[in-house]
Amino acid sequence: MTAAGQRGVSLIEMMVAVTILAILVLLGIPSYQQWTMNTRIRTVTESIQNGLRLARNEASQQGRYVRFQLNSATSWQVCQLPASTVSALAATDCSTATNTIQSWNSPSANTVQVGTTTATSKVAASTSTSSAYSSIVSGGVPAGVTFDALGRPTAYGSTSVLRIDATAAATSLQSSSRRLVTTISPGGMVNMCDPAFTLSKNVMGCP
């Protein structure tokens, strides 16, 4: 093929292609940011659930009081409390723990926030609607729950955490990102739901 028969890309064509690519990238950034935020929220929520289940299982297996302590939105620890029933029930954190079973720190610091509550009125019953989960719980952290030898939370309805909400730390992102709710039943069962759905339409929905 001769040089005269070859045809390259003109500067105008290249600029049009770059412009179209830039527009597509700009359109995709919000979706990517939302996906990243939702992934972080789910990672934090699943980790909290793992910690709660670990504490419950350890309490049942060892026949001891074991506490799940949520220190921040992105860190928690599971500790074994003193053997004395009185001392264990009096403990409200892991500072008097005889043994730290496991601890966790997430790289999602400053991007995910959690809210907790100790009020049973904030934990919806199975016959209620998702409206019971409509508000974001903003209780204080650190907070936690102590499981007894039967795997049940002590001080249920008073000092034990019964519900933990995870959402975006930035207020501007909360409406566009997920909010996942973790609840702890009187029997110690740990469940997660998404208030954006109803249980009748989605298995992830809140009852």
* Residue 137 DSSP one-character state: P
Residue that is written with structure tokens 């005889």 in the block = 98
Q: How many CA atoms lie within 13 A of 127 on its CB side?
A: 0
133 or 64, greater pLDDT: 64
Peptide bond into 142 cis (omega under 30): yes
Beta strands in 4-151 (DSSP E): 66-72, 75-80, 99-105, 112-117, 143-147
Beta bridge pairs of residue 184: 190
- Position 46 scores a pLDDT of 93
> Among 11-15, 106-110, 183-187, which range has the highest average pLDDT?
183-187
Structure token digits, residue 198: 């109803």
- DSSP string covering 22-51: HHHHHHHHHHHHHHHHHHHHHHHHHHHHHH
* pTM of full prediction above 0.85: no
Beta carbons of 122 and 183 less than 8 angstroms apart: no
Beta carbons of 193 and 129 less than 8 angstroms apart: no
128-155: per-residue pLDDT in tens? Answer: 555 678 777 877 778 899 999 999 999 8
Residue 5 pLDDT grade (very low, low, confident, very high; cuts 50, 70, 90)? low
H/E stretch holding 85 reads helix 85-90
66-72 and 75-80 as β-strands: parallel, antiparallel, unpaired? antiparallel
Residue that is written with structure tokens 């093929």 in the block = 1
- DSSP string covering 150-183: TS-BTTTTTTS--EEEEEESSHHHHTTS--EEEE
Peptide bond into 186 cis (omega under 30): no
Distance of CA 31 to CAs 19, 36, 37, 110, Å? 20, 9, 10, 20
Mean pLDDT in residue range 162-181: 87
